[in-house]
Amino acid sequence: MTRFESELPFFFGQDGELFGIYHAAAGAAAKAVLLCAPLGQDHIRCHRLYRQLASALAAAGIPVLRFDYYGCGDSAGASDEVDWDRCLDDIATAAAELRSRSSVDRVSAFGARLGANLALAAAPSAQLTDLVAWDPVMDGSAYVATLDALQDALRRDTHRFIRPRAASAAEGQWLGFAVNPGLRQRIASLRAERLTAPSLLIDSLGEASPDWHEWVPDPARLHRLRPDTPWDELSRIETAILSHPLVQTVVAHLRERAYA
Amino acid sequence: MREQAFRFGRARHLVGIAGLPPTAPGAVGVIVLNAGLVHRIGPFRLHVDMTRRLNELGYPTLRFDQSTIGDSGASGESQTRVQQVCADVDDAMALLHQHAACSRFVLVGLCSGAQNAHTVACGEHSHEKLDGVVFLDGYAYRTFGFRLRHYLPRLFNAKRWWRWLVRKSREVGGGGNEPVFGVAPLPQDVVRVDLKGMLDRGLKLCLVYSGGINMDFNHARQFRECFGSLMNRPAVSTRYIEETDHTYVLVDDRRHLIEHIEAWLQRNFPIAHAGASS
């Protein structure tokens, strides 16, 4: 099997609505890893990094599935149909698909930003044994306010538009994607204390970092990544997010725990 | 109708999603190329929305990642960029031919995708498979008219003069010496000859330029200023959308763009018994 043949794109789930790419690993694996994508523009920005991470994990002997939620990427559904509970169901469906394809029961997950929140929230139903979270959203209402402010700045941005656009042309959207009121409400209600703690928390928020210690008291489970990731900079919303140190950190952590 | 995922190509290194509606024989297949380094879903999922809408109208589609972009790898061949782009599109056409029986195709490309579509379309045998091309923010050149429209209003704007002076002083101070990496665009005369060749070979062209490239293009008249009377030929459709940005970040702008492309396709490549098929 060539490297390309080991990365298989396919549709799965009920009515084949979900798109995923399975990265097979050579040899018998002790665990598999599910990559949970962030939502909206962060999904597009992280696509390359998720592919690199999946390839690196597979090369380390860990089979991986990365996939798109309903309404995201290549999966069925329109962008304005993205639903928080459906995303959680999709993670459970994807975890089952990964178990079936890899013949491995132990499934860990990695998620960036809202992908981390989704993985943490879906952990019980998807029976995820281990979670790596990269800059999860700890205060949903503040995050919603940030995205609203970015969206308002975007429509006024004369580097992008010749003239500022009317507020009505940009309402109900965050950085290129329509957002339905239900999703907006669920994101606004996110609170750290309601989440399962990850086995590794990767922080690259810099000065904007919250106090992680109440949530993750063990310093060994907190990894500070430099440089900071420009998640919420208007001028860089169409710039890919890449981080070789992140890939190295996650692979090292998950490989170590695969044999623990 | 359900989409299908494929790994395909001469080295099975390409990844794409085909929309395969039940179609009448002879339907053109629409192939959407990568916009910059964004993977096949396109900026803000533009390519997903576009291909699904075209599938509803009965057009088979393929959105795919070209070599080394998105989920596609390298073919392992020693090829020039032009050879690689043409070979990737050939592979895409072969896939749609195999699964939707298409023998004629339309390419859609935004930005670098438009450049790549141009590369394929200017091949002297392109008309053997290609029927049309949609260039979104394709090649553009600053013309005399552009300069008049761009600079005249600025001459009497004190704020702009101040910003210009500040910028220049920073450049003198060393702030403007960062290296610039980019692909040199083709000369205007070459592109004009290329477009003429495409039209002489029977291709139909749809050019849609946005206000997002207003540093190079700022009026509907500029199509003719750039490419001459070619733009008056019946096989050419041009549209300048001043209010929108380069990547169509607003939902309604994307919807209007898709409506424009579907209307152009239906006008030029109608599908027999077109209708909803999802």
Is A222 a member of any domain?
yes
Is A45 a member of any domain?
yes
Nearest residue in chain B measured CA to CA from A40: B44
Whichever domain contains A55, its CATH number is 3.40.50.1820
Is A2 a member of any domain?
no
- Interchain CB contact of B178 with A (< 8 Å): no
- Interchain CB contact of A155 with B (< 8 Å): yes
Q: Which of A43-47, B21-25, B143-147 has the lowest mean pLDDT?
A: B21-25
Residues in chain B within 8 Å Cβ distance of A177: 44-45, 251
Q: Which domain holds residue A228?
A: 7-258
Is A202 a member of any domain?
yes
- Interchain CB contact of B243 with A (< 8 Å): yes
On the question of pLDDT at B173 being above 70, the answer is no
Q: What is the reported pLDDT for B158? A: 83
Q: What is the reported pLDDT for A3? A: 63
Could you report how far apart the first and last alpha carbons of chain A are, in Å? Answer: 29
DSSP for chain A reads --TTTTEEEEEESGGG-EEEEEE--SS--S-EEEEE--STHHHHHHHHHHHHHHHHHHHTT--EEEEE-TTSTTSSS-GGG--HHHHHHHHHHHHHHHHHHHT---EEEEEETHHHHHHHHHHHHHTEEEEEEES--SBHHHHHHHHHHHHHHHHH-TTTSSSPPPHHHHTTEETTEE--HHHHHHHHT-BGGGSPPPSEEEE--GGG---GGGT---GGGEEE-SSPP-TT-GGGTTSPP--HHHHHHHHHHHHHHHT-
Nearest residue in chain A measured CA to CA from B210: A161
- Interchain CB contact of B45 with A (< 8 Å): yes
pLDDT band at B129 (very low <50, low <70, confident <90, very high): very high
Nearest residue in chain B measured CA to CA from A164: B243
B193 vs A191 pLDDT, higher one: B193
Is A67 a member of any domain?
yes
pLDDT per residue as tens digits for the range A206-241? 988 988 888 888 989 999 999 999 999 999 999 999
Please report which residue ranges of B101-187 form alpha helices under DSSP H: 112-121, 144-155, 158-172
Closest of B144, B148, B132, B141 to residue B207, by C-alpha: B132
- Averaged pLDDT, B28-57: 97
Nearest residue in chain A measured CA to CA from B68: A48
- Overall domain count for chain A: 1
Closest of A19, A130, A22, A145 to residue A72, by C-alpha: A19
Is A156 a member of any domain?
yes
Q: What is the reported pLDDT for B185? A: 81
Residues in chain B within 8 Å Cβ distance of A3: 73
Phi–psi pair at A219, nearest 5 degrees: -60, -25
> Residue A15 half-sphere exposure, CB side, CA atoms within 13 Å?
7
- Averaged pLDDT, A26-47: 96
pLDDT band at A251 (very low <50, low <70, confident <90, very high): very high
**Inter-chain Cβ pairs, chain A and chain B, closer than 8 A:** 97
Phi–psi pair at A50, nearest 5 degrees: -65, -40
Q: What is the reported pLDDT for B276? A: 44
Q: Could you tell me the CA-to-CA distances from B80 to A245, B9, B31, B84, B86 in Å, in that order?
A: 32, 17, 22, 6, 10
Whether the Cβ atoms of residue B95 and residue B6 lie closer than 8 Å to each other: yes
A42 vs B182 pLDDT, higher one: A42
ipTM above 0.90, yes or no: yes
- Interchain CB contact of A44 with B (< 8 Å): yes
Residues in chain B within 8 Å Cβ distance of A178: 251
Whether the Cβ atoms of residue A37 and residue A115 lie closer than 8 Å to each other: yes
Is A89 a member of any domain?
yes
Is A1 a member of any domain?
no
Q: What is the reported pLDDT for B162? A: 83
Any residues with CB less than 8 A from the CB of A221 and at least 6 apart, and which? A197, A198, A199, A200, A201
Residues in chain A within 8 Å Cβ distance of B2: 11, 15-16, 76
